[in-house]
Structure 1
Amino acid sequence: MNKEKRKNTATRKEKPETFERKQAEYRDLSKKFINTKSDYSKQFSHIYSARLTELREALIPRVKAKWENILIVKLADLEKLENQQCIIIGTLYKHQQWKPSILRELSEEHQLSASCSKPNYCSEKDQPFLEDEMLRIKLVGEQVDIKQIITGVVCAVLGNENSDGTFLVKDWCFPGCAPKESLKEYTSQKRLVLVSGLNLSNNCESLGISLFVEWLCGMAGNITMQKDNTFIVRLIIAGNTVKNNDTSQTSTSKELGEVIKFVDMFLSNLATCCSVTLMPGEHDPSNAMLPQRPFHPCLLPKSSRLESFKSTTNPWVGKIEGRVIIGSSGQSIQDIVKVTGETDISPIEWLEKSLLWRHICPTAPDTLLVCPYYEKDLFIMETCPDIYFVGNTDKFETKLWKGDENQIVRLISVPRFDTTQTAVIVNLDNLDTQYISFSNI
């Protein structure tokens, strides 16, 4: 073999191996958040009425199974029962003087009262109530833990009315986790990656961001790792991509425009390598009321042209490879913490409780801004998800939750990337979950 032939052979041997990323079936089920009409002339009571009507239907069979033949009554009928034990179904309401109030904001603006900065809405004067479409009654008894009362949660309570007009609670019943669509077996080895809080306005040049992009796009690691990463079929970004808080707000519209251009370039580069779903967050350029609408295509002209890029809502509901996924960018859990004052309870525990409440964000519209839907409460969980996540938390946590009717749900707390440099990987076959850190510490 002459020198030229040996040179050509060596060149062919040194040619880098290429891998093709796997594809996955994807359906965005969150279009109901966009297509349903809002009516700003309506009272928010219509949302509570719709919520109670739908979840009462889910509660009644559970109540009958748990408490058998005990009478279910309306609040208006309690006075006819003469302290007889009964069941009432309604919506929890916690009276809190420190909840957001437009009247208080106006009085503080005109210096009619001293302003008070509080991390939550709790005080010793908080009081729990249960209300139906017509009336409200105060709840009392050892079974009533005021910190665990969440306004907007629909439930049934067993007990009796006291002579002072309060209701003595002896037991509780919640709607429970929604039924599964199916219990079929999954054989896909494909995986998802979840991140939140990229905060690119302050974090665009960080080493963690660079390493994350290189890893996801297959430009890092050895051949084994690169081949393994072809099974990552989609990246889900759960909010606060542009910034993570109001203090990081750019000072001029020109600077903000430059940040948005960088975000568009960043996302388009990712989307050329991997399918991307982008959810807005509390501090992103989207509406403040839930559900937040997708980033407008004019903000992300390069990314929006790509078929592999999907801008969606917050909260978001989707289906990937047959797996139902529900997630939020964090506002719903953050507001529950403000209502309860329970900072030591993990976001994972609140996710688990909201499964049993069958509602993604129960504190809306009381303390969480929400669009005034009046025909239906869109945040009720109509089906049990396979993966249920919350973004922009302090740290990564996960739990495989099992329900009474063989429901299995992977609960995930997705940490802020700008503070933890951490992403989450989920196997769509067995729901195994792990985190990967891009920190240099």
Structure 2
Amino acid sequence: MNHLNKNLPSTAEAVRVESSLAETYPKDSAFLLPSKNRDYGRQFFSMYQQRLAMLKPRVDREATRKWGSNTREVNGKLIQHKQKILDIVLGELCWVSGTIFSDMKHKLNILKDVEKGTDDLMPQPSKKYVDADNEAVVMIEDESGRAILHNEELLRKSHLVTGCFVGVLGIEIQAGIFEIMEIVNPAPAPQTLALADVDSSGPEEWLAFVSGLSFGKETDLDPRTLLLLQWLSGELGGEDDVAAAKKILTLVVVGNSIVENEHEENLDFTTTNNFGSKNTSKFSPESLTLFGQWLNEIVATIPAVVMPGESDPCEVCLPQQPVHRALFSQNAPYVGSKNLVTKSNPTWMQTNAGLRILACAGQNIDDICKYRVGETSLEETLDIMEQTLRWQVFVPTAPDTLYCYPYEDSDPFTLDEMPNLYVVGNQCGGGSRTVEIGSSSVKLLSVPAFKSTGEILLVNTKTLEVKSVLIE
């Protein structure tokens, strides 16, 4: 910002037009669950079968194009295509496709919870599933069996995690150990509209993305949230700041708007009943009130889209459904209007120009980071985001290490189209990258937790240009 509250234009000059997001579009309800008759008692086998049915033909097509089907040679050896892992022969160069499974020491295990007598409580996820002494054992599996994949360098670069469906080329070096040389991902789904086909004429229109506002107690209120409100309203900064704010037509809040209460766990299971501490709310009324007041000021100036996140008052399982309107207090009458739209997590959105946006609050990337030792940098975050698109499954670890609804006839986390903009919230840093996947160009956007960085990201709805604004 140049300077504060100097030479501000009149209020009339700060009037905005309507939201730049389309009200209705295909995939509008892709992640919405029925309000009644949800069945959580189903097994996840059907969901994996749906993923297999969508991705196996696409993987096999790419693998056949690259390695042939018993038609190509490497060093005088014919590359064999094995239909099943069980058909792999020791010492024979071949390729096979299957689902990745990672065996990790610190992964949640319901059998261990039953042993300890803690299976009636929500298990606490590990910060990391692996450590320096216990790395993941990566396997490929199908209905016939499993084989352990070996090639540390290639596996490290590929970031493979449970739930990916890939093809691998290699040689079985001993029973059940497959030395891999190359990995092939599914053929990418097409985009509905390419960026080059968008009419970029007319006035500039921008979307603002923020995540991790983390409203809590009033005594812990971050003053930067008030500065952000003023900046978005065109009431803070110099002429350049006000001009930039006027072009922002929609604010997208990408999860973690509320901070969870910290409760001491009651470990006396003999006295804890259904009305005991384990059913105590994780959210304070004060935090909801503060967020509601802030949001009330926002929607008076600019349309807002609110997605839930891991720390918000919403169900644990993905896809998280839109935050209930009753929790918006004074903003409840606006929910569902053009001023305040509630979305699921993850969700699809579409700009008025026709560009598709896929947005997640960050659990998918955070969970994949747990498969790796050490802290994750911004570049690694963007690498992992890119890989989820190349795998064509942007939440591959659900349902293995990430809770999700047990779908029966579909897997909405498997891509049947490529987004133009892929947004992930609550990450360690803010940044973007353009990647080419097949014939599609996709802009990756890592949105940082505002509580940690004070940063929001702006995206041009026609060109997908990205700008960063730091509130200090």
Do these two structures clear the TM 0.5 threshold for a shared fold by scoring above it?
yes
**Whose radius of gyration is greater, 1 or 2?**
1
Aligned ranges for residues 168-247 of structure 1 at < 5 Å? 168-183=179-194, 184-187=197-200, 189-202=204-217, 205-222=221-238, 225-243=241-259, 245=260, 247=262
- Give the match for residue 64 of structure 1: 64
Query: How many residue pairs align between the two structures?
Result: 419
Residue from 14, 20, 23 that aligns with 1:19 = 14
Aligned ranges for residues 21-420 of structure 1 at < 5 Å? 21-23=16-18, 24-27=20-23, 29-35=27-33, 38-70=38-70, 71-75=80-84, 78=87, 83-109=91-117, 119-122=127-130, 123-124=133-134, 126-141=136-151, 145=155, 148-183=159-194, 184-187=197-200, 189-202=204-217, 205-222=221-238, 225-243=241-259, 245=260, 247=262, 256-306=284-334, 307=337, 308-321=339-352, 322-341=354-373, 343-345=375-377, 346-405=380-439, 407-420=440-453
**Residues 248 and 277 (structure 1 numbering): CA distance in 2 closer, same or farther, change over 3 Å?**
farther
Tell me if the contact between 1:395 and 1:415 (Cα under 8 Å) persists in the aligned partners.
yes
Per-residue CA shift, 1:390-417, capped at 9, x if unaligned? 1111221221222331x22221111111
**Residues 178 and 27 (structure 1 numbering): CA distance in 2 closer, same or farther, change over 3 Å?**
farther
Q: Between 413-422 and 299-308, report the one with greater CA deviation.
A: 299-308
The amino acid across from 1:312 in the alignment is: K
**Residues 290 and 25 (structure 1 numbering): CA distance in 2 closer, same or farther, change over 3 Å?**
closer
Tell me if the contact between 1:386 and 1:410 (Cα under 8 Å) persists in the aligned partners.
yes
The amino acid across from 1:315 in the alignment is: P
**Residues 171 and 291 (structure 1 numbering): CA distance in 2 closer, same or farther, change over 3 Å?**
same
TM-score (norm 2): 0.81
SS of equivalent residue, structure 2 residue 467:
strand
**Residues 82 and 106 (structure 1 numbering): CA distance in 2 closer, same or farther, change over 3 Å?**
closer
TM-score (norm 1): 0.86
Tell me how far 1:157 sits from its aligned partner: 0.9
Rounded Cα–Cα distance in structure 2 between residues aligned with 1:16 and 1:192:
21
Tell me how far 1:125 sits from its aligned partner: 6.1
The amino acid across from 2:68 in the alignment is: E
**Residues 279 and 416 (structure 1 numbering): CA distance in 2 closer, same or farther, change over 3 Å?**
same
**Residues 253 and 121 (structure 1 numbering): CA distance in 2 closer, same or farther, change over 3 Å?**
closer
Residue from 418, 421, 429 that aligns with 2:454 = 421
Identity percentage over the alignment? 26
**Residues 334 and 76 (structure 1 numbering): CA distance in 2 closer, same or farther, change over 3 Å?**
closer
Per-residue CA shift, 1:3-42, capped at 9, x if unaligned? xxxxxxxxxxx97643321222424635221236753232
**Residues 154 and 215 (structure 1 numbering): CA distance in 2 closer, same or farther, change over 3 Å?**
same
**Residues 420 and 141 (structure 1 numbering): CA distance in 2 closer, same or farther, change over 3 Å?**
closer
**Residues 248 and 238 (structure 1 numbering): CA distance in 2 closer, same or farther, change over 3 Å?**
farther
Per-residue CA shift, 1:173-203, capped at 9, x if unaligned? 0115432112213316210000001011147
Q: Between 130-139 and 315-324, report the one with greater CA deviation.
A: 130-139
SS of equivalent residue, structure 2 residue 411:
coil
SS of equivalent residue, structure 1 residue 332:
helix
Rounded Cα–Cα distance in structure 1 between residues aligned with 2:38 and 2:177:
36
Q: Between 119-128 and 348-357, report the one with greater CA deviation.
A: 119-128
Rounded Cα–Cα distance in structure 2 between residues aligned with 1:125 and 1:338:
11
Tell me how far 1:283 sits from its aligned partner: 0.9
Per-residue CA shift, 1:138-185, capped at 9, x if unaligned? 223466536833111110112244452333322110115432112213
SS of equivalent residue, structure 1 residue 424:
strand
Q: Between 384-393 and 173-182, report the one with greater CA deviation.
A: 173-182
Q: Between 220-229 and 132-141, report the one with greater CA deviation.
A: 220-229
Tell me if the contact between 2:90 and 2:175 (Cα under 8 Å) persists in the aligned partners.
no
CA RMSD of aligned residues (A): 3.0
Per-residue CA shift, 1:404-440, capped at 9, x if unaligned? 31x222211111111211111111222111211111x
The amino acid across from 2:347 in the alignment is: W
Q: Which residues of structure 1 form unaligned runs of 5+? A: 1-13
Q: Which residues of structure 2 form unaligned runs of 5+? A: 1-8, 71-79, 265-276
**Residues 125 and 412 (structure 1 numbering): CA distance in 2 closer, same or farther, change over 3 Å?**
closer
